[in-house]
Amino acid sequence: MTDEASTLDEREMIYDWNLVDKPETAMGAVEFDDETLRDGIQSPSVKAPTIEEKIQILHLIADLGIQSADIGLPGAGRMMTEHAVALAKEIVNHKLPIEPNCAARTIAVDIDPIVEASQRAGISIEASLFIGSSPIRQYVENWTLDKMLKMSEEAVRYAVDNGLSVMFVTEDTTRAHPDTLRKLYTTAIECGARRICLADTVGHATPHGTRMLVNAMKKVVEDTGEEVKIDWHGHRDRGLSLENAIAAAEAGAVRFHGTALGIGERCGNTPMEHLLVNFRLLRVIDNDLTKLGEYCNLVSRACEVPIPNNHPVLGADAYRTSTGVHAAAVIKATNKGHSWLADRIYSGVPAAWTGQKQKIEIGPMSGVSNIVFWLKNHDIEPADRLVEEIFEAAKKADRVLSEESVLDIIEKHNKK
């Protein structure tokens, strides 16, 4: 069997409306920041991974070409500090191509453990200093804008003076007033922050709102005259996190935060697996994603978070069909000797990208071709009577036949 990619032009076989009349400047080079080991494990439903599991996850983050990772919130306690140190040392000892960062409130007591972790591990750690920015948050906290500016200025200067690079994060950015954001970000940048993060903390944003926000904050950065990158941190409360990330990229944000399986506070964060696959489909990145399944399955086990069968990209049903018409098309493509074609005829995401394969099952909606294909794939001769017996059983079933069920039918047939 030959690889179809060597004989067919993808652009001729698939007309991609997603790329039609797309401005060349709409989306530049992007980076990713993995929040699984901090924001992800803040979910009230997850089990915190052991340090050994965190280290395994860290290696898979590197394997997937993710440039940076949040390795914890050291200010949350001594154990968190020790875990951050261990993860930072792992990056150093194994020369992992990951830039570590740690979250912290805009207070010295949260920043000091990051300084300690950086010094003990012998690696620069970016401090992600966050402060609430929306009117609703200000009201609840009894904060005045002057107090917020003072806290931000003191925290950023303190971090920079202690040798840390700083990403300044405004929580609830997507519900904050533009004048407040301008003053907060300008103050942080003037004090030495070289990244700012726009946080959709409660998943409030829509793609339109995201574009408006990113464009406005680009102007704030431009007015400072400094080289400052913009990050986007999204949540899934309205189910729009992926769409918002793409909108943010089109507007000029450069780094995107996500977690494996989208774990995190409330409804979770933007799923990292969906970010990676979609930016590759948009031809913005070319990362090797074959370990994506291993990464998500490890997080699923370590955090005790089940993966839904219909989860895009990595669910059990993502590349699996039993419907006759769909299966027939996959089988015809396979019979042409082209794995590339078979992987795309009824799939928006090529299974091979994530180290998986298309699967043809047998169920009540299946045709004879499903059964013949299944038997051949199991090195079993598709004798007419055997195919008929399996077909009859499938039509009477209320779901897809398990492998054990099909093998049981085969065994009974052979005993006749």
pLDDT at position 194 is: 98
Residues 327 and 296 in one domain: no
| Bridging pattern class, strands 166-171 and 195-200 | parallel
In the structure encoding, which two tokens stand for residue 99, read together?
């830039």
Q: Which residues contact 296 (CB under 8 A, 6 or more apart)?
A: 260, 261, 273, 307, 314
Q: What is the pLDDT of residues 333-386, one digit of tens each?
A: 888 877 788 888 889 999 999 999 888 899 999 999 899 989 988 999 999 999
Residues 225 and 122 in one domain: yes
Residues 209 and 88 in one domain: yes
Helix or strand run (H / E) with residue 339: helix 339-342
In a domain, 168, yes or no: yes
Residues 261 and 403 in one domain: no
Question: Of 303, 329, 349, which residue constitutes the final position of a domain?
Answer: 303
Residues 296 and 324 in one domain: no
Q: Which neighbouring-strand residues pair with 32?
A: 256
In a domain, 99, yes or no: yes
Q: Are 233 and 267 in contact (CB under 8 A)?
A: no
Long-range contacts of 184-188 (CB under 8 A, 24+ apart): 184/131, 184/133, 184/148, 184/149, 184/152, 185/217, 185/220, 185/221, 186/220, 186/223, 186/224, 187/149, 187/152, 187/153, 187/156, 188/129, 188/152, 188/153, 188/156
Residues 354 and 245 in one domain: no
In a domain, 396, yes or no: yes
Distance (Å, rounded) from C-alpha 85 to C-alpha 120? 7
Residues 108 and 241 in one domain: yes
* Coil, strand or helix at 179: helix
The whole model's pTM is what? 0.92
What angle (nearest 5°) sits at the alpha carbon of residue 170, between those of residues 165 and 175?
160
In a domain, 1, yes or no: no
Average pLDDT rounded to a whole number, residues 80-94: 98
Q: What is the pLDDT of residues 64-76, one digit of tens each?
A: 999 999 999 999 9
CB atoms within 10 A of CB 99: 16
Residues 236 and 160 in one domain: yes
Distance (Å, rounded) from C-alpha 54 to C-alpha 63? 14
Distance (Å, rounded) from C-alpha 214 to C-alpha 156? 22
Q: What is the pLDDT of residues 18-47, one digit of tens each?
A: 888 775 556 788 999 999 999 999 999 999
Residues 278 and 140 in one domain: yes
Residues 235 and 289 in one domain: yes
Residues 209 and 269 in one domain: yes
In a domain, 221, yes or no: yes
Residues 101 and 241 in one domain: yes
Q: What is the pLDDT of residues 130-158, one digit of tens each?
A: 999 999 999 999 999 999 999 999 999 99
Q: Total domain count for the chain?
A: 2
Distance (Å, rounded) from C-alpha 386 to C-alpha 400? 18
184 is in which domain, residue-wise? 27-303
Question: Of 303, 335, 352, which residue constitutes the final position of a domain?
Answer: 303
